[in-house]
Structure 1
């Protein structure tokens, strides 16, 4: 589904002037985050402040991709509301009971609601399937394009 106009979507996101440093203020600099080393496809952990320093450094030595910053229970989570259609189609939030009984004990509802993804130029994520039952939507806040002639 491609939506060409945002009018009437019931969507709330930060303004396009929002930066990585703004995100840092909302999720806290010392929060540990998992990032992907794109070339090695390995995971490493650092503070969000370290990641923000990496991301704002024009002379990066590695390609890092932050794809698992869950922000639902942060100040940033309060700035984001999924589009109405995503909320209506979301199996996890509409049909999952808070805990479901199984022979070995209850299965808790996964706490996966709002993620912030931050990727540097030339980074990518391997093909994957997100958590079962979640309705995934993306809003690109900003892209910084550099065009070189040559």
Structure 2
């Protein structure tokens, strides 16, 4: 599976940990930055990862900032992105199974490294169940289409 990953300065440390973890597991990772803890703007990285996932270059994306809130809001402005901010294992599984989330957002200042890696592993292994959930995902896409200029 090809995974796009990106963060701002507030998520840089966790991004590096997750990137290395996934490379060791054999995933094909592209790091969209940032490359240090120097202050940068999270929308830039949300845009880069989100556009790459929607374009089909990557099956999934992972975004990290200090809380995960700003970067997930920015990513969800891109039509076709279903970015879920997750802080627990149950939600990591459910957002894949029920919402077909294609981008995971995490907050480095909120989720510890051990839990973050567990969330990532669960999220990447879970599959969309379709069925009754497909209609709901389709309704999300319909809302998106209505408000896309």
- Shorter chain as denominator, the TM-score bin is under 0.3
Q: Which has the higher helix share?
A: 2
- TM-score (norm: length of structure 2): 0.25
Whose RCO is larger (CA < 8 A, sep 6+)?
1
Between structure 1 and structure 2, the one with the greater Rg is 1
Q: Which has the higher strand share?
A: 1
- TM-score (norm: length of structure 1): 0.25
